[in-house]
Structure 1
Amino acid sequence: MTRNWDIIQQGDWIVIKMPSGNQKLIQLQPNVQIELGKFGKFQSSELIGKYYSVPLEIYDRDKLKRVENTDYLLDFEIDPRVETDATNQEIFDDANSQKLTQKDIEEMKLKSLDGSVHHQTIIKEIVSNNEKFNEKTEFAKAKYIKRKVKKYSKIFIPLFPNARNLIEYHNLKNPEKIHELRIDSLSQILTYANVRAGSRMLVCDDTGGLLATAILERTHGLGTCYFFHDGQNASLEIMKCSNFSNEVLSSFKTFAYQNIGKQPELREIEEGADVKPELIEKINARNANIKETFSTLEQGGFDSLIISTKFDTTEVIKKLEQFLAPSAIVVAYSARKELILEAYEYCRKSPSYANTFLTESWLREYQVPVFTSGTHPNMMMSGSGGFIFSATTVTTPEGLVIDKTTKRRKTSKN
């Protein structure tokens, strides 16, 4: 039976996006209470059968229900795109402008936790009791309401752990783990490498398998993806949270650097050994898989090589370029230009590569969109999306020599 991947099932990994913007990555286990801090808690069984990306609200302490409308600005008839004569110049929005006491607000928060007071009521009470609210500009009103929603709302969104959502989650928790990779940079990497169904790709990344996750998500298992790693075991903790089916994972292979060019080590069964038939079948299947993986790599002809590693990128290219087909694409990403600059120079000067370029990604994020009173970018955002270099492999006709001094092509007869 084909699964509906829009519906949450037991055992799924889920990214929970809370009203504050914080996120939590969980695996849905049976009979477990999921804690969301000040926003409440609920039983894991409440999520089973719900749709991904549909807002849910906690009520009656530990129950969930679907929310149709999450735009609180409509409740207050506020449109930040409308220009008014209001100004914030003379407004001093301090504690004295709020009629409600802190005790009143805390009492409503406690009632909200047991379900006797809806969180929307708290937000409306706080807004309506702010003496300076009506004097604000439409943009300032929208920002004020959004701050209160982040603080008091009990609506969260269960998100499917795709590459985009996993990038956002890890950038909030630990950006260095994924080399500070942003979604705009990832989209460029996949585009430059021409990742598509049927692609045959070599991948080298030490971001927990994030790049490989994005590749499998785009190809959906239609192709071949070789993941190169250092040591005996590959680090794929991010990929393990991606809910991939066995069919998709069948196109994914891991390969250790130290085994390149070596004959694969196969497990042999000693003659006369008392081994169960099930174990013999398992060992034979494993050996056949190792042989196939090694043979496919040795045949070469791969379409692209994608790299994001703290190791020497130049050495990675030199070791894996032998497996690339003509017109294959090499793409390398790094949060620091210095880590890929040498590799860029190597490809730029080599006669085996053409169309070599190095770029820096940049993105501006905005607060509440305003079309009439100028732009309002976020005050806190990443200053750079990292650096990407790309090069295309070419074949050199026999007898053609590159004069690197004059950078002119000469034949051997000259």
Structure 2
Amino acid sequence: MPEIGQNKVISPNEHCLVTMPSGSLRIVQLKPGGTINLGKFGHFLVDGTFGYAYGQAFEIVADKKVSPIKHLLVDLEDSNDGTPIPELKSSANNKDLTDIGQKIQKLTTQDIENMKKDGEGNQVARQIIEKMIQSHEAFEKKTVFSQEKYLTRKQKKFARRFQIDSLSSSALLNYYYREKDPQRVLDLSEETLGLMMSHANIMPGGNYLALDETGGLLIYALLERMQGLGSIIWLHENDQPNTWVLKQAGYTDVELDKMLRPISFLDFFEPDEDTGKVFKFTDQEVEEMPPQRRSMYAKRLAKAEKLRQTVEMVANHDLDAVVSISTLNPATLIPRVLEALAGSRPVVAYHQYKEMLIELDHVLQKDKRVIMTNISETKVRRYQTVPGKLHPLMTSRAGGGYVFHGLRVLPVEGVQAVGRGKKRKSDESAAS
């Protein structure tokens, strides 16, 4: 199984995450001989990125070719890898600085557009930024920190650079949580997903029951931690589970078939004698089948046998954890899947709204099959730093959801509590 993000290099036909100077993200597939369009940041030929480690930054040069660079953005002190900056002085403070827009910036929008048409690659961006600095009458009145902020802002707007990162489960989650539609991943944040993996004690060789309504994102995170060892029983409510995330994960069909065991609610909760069975033809009838029908029949037999084995695993009550990300009411769902768990195994459930998990907590406290229940919420606050200064970003996304976790136990029936003998001692002292 692929170890996402660990000593991997950029390879053909893989999905990856492209970070642009503005900070925006884009998921692309690196097809050999292809060209990737990054909008205003230019186009680049895919073949020039192969063989470099993930996390490598590139600069677009002439003829859509790329050249590796140290960083996606540079500062004023970086003379080898940055935009050429003329020898300019700086001010100790900004008290003499008056920002009056076009009156201090002589370079017009039309001039910038003409420069874009006359050149190509990141060389155009360098020329534009250098020209803007030279044409800025108040640039010398800025402090060094203000000059760096100005340079960074212009690089984010004009630099034709990008960075390629591996598409891990965390990167994919951040892409949808911050860039696209958080509701598509049920408002799940990266730190909340990490908390769930920790509470569920996911490790190689385990057998886990998962309920995933994020298109396979939870399954992807489980696969990363399991490293090709163990199995995942994927409980779903449709004929087939939604697997749009796994199509970008880099796993082959053989690897997924080895690890995943999809099962519907009906087969999980109400299995019968016919579950996992299929009508079998004789060997002669199979030989007489057309090749396509014979192949379909073999797949049907393999699927039925896998379902039968999955039902047996559930009936053995020996799974290592239950991990749920679902819109269904956990108070009615989680108690019904507890019997599949072995003793001293974690139960972890995620929901967007804590009220649903509070109801689950009340139900399980009366159930006596789960102890040490807890509902938690985690937040990671992003900070920006400059030398001698540290403060959080002014804006951040709310949400992230809530996590319930508890420990499955096996209550012993017919046990009566016995006191410590205080009553007997008091009776003996009274008799004496």
Q: Please, what TM-score do these two structures have when normalized by structure 1? A: 0.85
Contact 1:363 1:384 in 2 (8 A): no
- Are the structure 2 counterparts of residues 259 and 93 from structure 1 closer, same or farther at C-alpha, using a change threshold of 3 Å? farther
- Are the structure 2 counterparts of residues 269 and 331 from structure 1 closer, same or farther at C-alpha, using a change threshold of 3 Å? same
Contact 1:353 1:391 in 2 (8 A): yes
Deviating more after overlay: 229-238 vs 21-30: 21-30
Contact 1:108 1:117 in 2 (8 A): no
1:147 aligns with 2:153: yes
- SS of the equivalent of 2:277 reads coil
1:240 aligns with 2:247: yes
CA-to-aligned-CA distance 1:40-74 (integer Å, 9 cap, x gap)? 11334444444322112222242122113444114
Distance 1:93 1:76 in 2: 29
- SS of the equivalent of 1:325 reads coil
Q: State the match for 2:388 in structure 1.
A: 372
- SS of the equivalent of 2:164 reads strand
Q: Who wins on radius of gyration, i.e. which is larger? A: 2
Distance 1:340 1:217 in 2: 27
Q: Which amino acid aligns with 1:262?
A: P
- Are the structure 2 counterparts of residues 175 and 19 from structure 1 closer, same or farther at C-alpha, using a change threshold of 3 Å? same
Q: State the match for 2:87 in structure 1.
A: none
1:256 aligns with 2:241: no
Contact 1:8 1:49 in 2 (8 A): yes
- Are the structure 2 counterparts of residues 193 and 101 from structure 1 closer, same or farther at C-alpha, using a change threshold of 3 Å? same
Distance 2:24 2:54 in 1: 17
Distance 1:292 1:204 in 2: 19
Q: State the match for 2:279 in structure 1.
A: 268
Q: Which amino acid aligns with 1:17?
A: T
1:158 aligns with 2:164: yes
Q: Which amino acid aligns with 1:315?
A: T
Deviation at 1:305, TM superposition (A): 0.9
Q: Please, what TM-score do these two structures have when normalized by structure 2? A: 0.82
- Are the structure 2 counterparts of residues 167 and 116 from structure 1 closer, same or farther at C-alpha, using a change threshold of 3 Å? closer
- SS of the equivalent of 2:11 reads coil
Q: Which amino acid aligns with 1:256?
A: S
- SS of the equivalent of 2:386 reads coil
1:341-356 matches, within 5 Å, as: 341-356=358-373
Deviating more after overlay: 10-19 vs 130-139: 130-139
Stretches of structure 2 that go unaligned for 5 or more consecutive residues are 83-90, 420-432
1:324-363 matches, within 5 Å, as: 324-363=341-380
CA-to-aligned-CA distance 1:363-402 (integer Å, 9 cap, x gap)? 21123x1352451x2232112432111111112122248x
Contact 1:221 1:247 in 2 (8 A): no
Deviation at 1:284, TM superposition (A): 3.6
- SS of the equivalent of 2:123 reads coil
Q: State the match for 1:106 in structure 2.
A: 113
Count, aligned residues: 395
- SS of the equivalent of 2:136 reads coil
Distance 2:129 2:95 in 1: 21
1:35-184 matches, within 5 Å, as: 35-75=37-77, 86-87=93-94, 91-92=98-99, 94-112=101-119, 114-115=120-121, 117-171=123-177, 172-184=179-191
Q: State the match for 2:304 in structure 1.
A: 287
- Which structure shows the bigger proportion of residues in helix conformation? 2
- Are the structure 2 counterparts of residues 136 and 388 from structure 1 closer, same or farther at C-alpha, using a change threshold of 3 Å? farther
1:178-327 matches, within 5 Å, as: 178-245=185-252, 248-249=255-256, 250-260=258-268, 261-263=270-272, 264-271=275-282, 273=285, 274-276=288-290, 279=295, 281-327=298-344
Contact 2:263 2:307 in 1 (8 A): no
Distance 1:129 1:321 in 2: 70
Contact 1:360 1:384 in 2 (8 A): no
Deviation at 1:12, TM superposition (A): 1.3
1:386 aligns with 2:386: no
Contact 1:336 1:386 in 2 (8 A): yes
Deviation at 1:203, TM superposition (A): 0.9
- Are the structure 2 counterparts of residues 122 and 76 from structure 1 closer, same or farther at C-alpha, using a change threshold of 3 Å? farther
Q: State the match for 2:423 in structure 1.
A: none
Contact 2:187 2:399 in 1 (8 A): no
Stretches of structure 1 that go unaligned for 5 or more consecutive residues are 79-83, 402-408
Deviating more after overlay: 147-156 vs 246-255: 246-255
- SS of the equivalent of 2:75 reads helix
Q: State the match for 1:405 in structure 2.
A: none
Percent of aligned pairs sharing the same letter: 26
Contact 2:271 2:311 in 1 (8 A): no
- SS of the equivalent of 1:73 reads coil
Contact 2:44 2:65 in 1 (8 A): yes
Deviation at 1:39, TM superposition (A): 0.9
Contact 2:323 2:349 in 1 (8 A): yes
Distance 2:195 2:222 in 1: 12
- SS of the equivalent of 2:305 reads helix
Distance 1:206 1:410 in 2: 47
Deviation at 1:118, TM superposition (A): 4.0
CA-to-aligned-CA distance 1:302-341 (integer Å, 9 cap, x gap)? 1111111111112220221110111111111223222322
- Are the structure 2 counterparts of residues 283 and 211 from structure 1 closer, same or farther at C-alpha, using a change threshold of 3 Å? closer
Q: Which amino acid aligns with 2:93?
A: A
- Are the structure 2 counterparts of residues 144 and 283 from structure 1 closer, same or farther at C-alpha, using a change threshold of 3 Å? same
